[in-house]
Structure 1
Amino acid sequence: MAGGKMSGRQKMINLMYLVFIAMLSMNMSKEVLSAFGFVNEKLTDNNILISEKNNQAYANLATKASDQAAKFTNLNKQALRVKIASKDFYNYLEALKTDMTADLEDKQAYEAMDKTDFLDERFFKGDVFTAEGEAFLARINGHRNSLMDVLGKNTSFASILTKRFSTTDEINSDGKTIKWLEYRYKGFPLVASLTNLTQLQADIKNTEADIISNLLGGQLESDVSMSNYSGLVKLDKNAFYPGDNVTGTVVLGRYDPSLLPSRVVLNGKKYDNFKDGNVVLDLRAENVGEKNIDGTIYFMENGEEVPVPFKSSYSVISKPNSPVVSADKMNVVYRGLPNPISISLPGVPDKDVIVSAPGLQKVGSGAYIMRPQSGNKVDIKVSAKLADGSTVNTSTVFRIKDIPAAMGTVREQYGTVRMPKSGLVNTPVSAGLPDFLFDLDLEVISFKLKVPDQLAIIVNGTQMSAAAKNALSKAKRGDMINIFDIKAIIKNSAYELKKVLPVNIELTN
Structure 2
Amino acid sequence: MSNAKEPPRQKMIGMMYLVLTCLLALNVTKEVLQGFVTINESIETTNSNFTSNTQNMMKAFEVAIKKGKNEAKPYYVKAKEVTQLSQKTFDYITTLKQNIQQYTEGVKGADTMKLARIEKLDDYDKPTYLLIGPDETKPADTKYSAKELRKNITTLTTELNKMIDEMHYKKGTVLPDADYLILKEKIKLFTPHDNFRDKDGKAIGWELKNFYNMPLAGVITNLSKMQSDIRNIESEMVTTFAGAAGKLNIIFNEMEACIVPVSNYVQSGSPFTANVFLTASSSDFKEDNLQFILGDMDTSTGKISEEAIILPMDKGTGKINLPTSTAGHKEIKGWVRLKGPDGFYKYYEYKNDYVVANAAVAVSPDKMNVFYIGVDNPLTVSSAGVAPTDLIVNVSGCGATIANSGNGKYITKASSTGTCIVTVMAKTANGIKQQGPPQFFRVKRFPNPPLKVSGKSTYGNLEMKLADAKNMNTLGVDNAGFDFVAQFKMEKFSMCTVIGGTASAPIYCNGNQLTNEAKEALKKLKVGSKVYFEDIKVIAPDGPRDFSDIKVVVK
Give me the TM-score of the superposition, normalised by structure 2: 0.36
Q: Which entry has the higher C-alpha Rg, 1 or 2?
A: 1
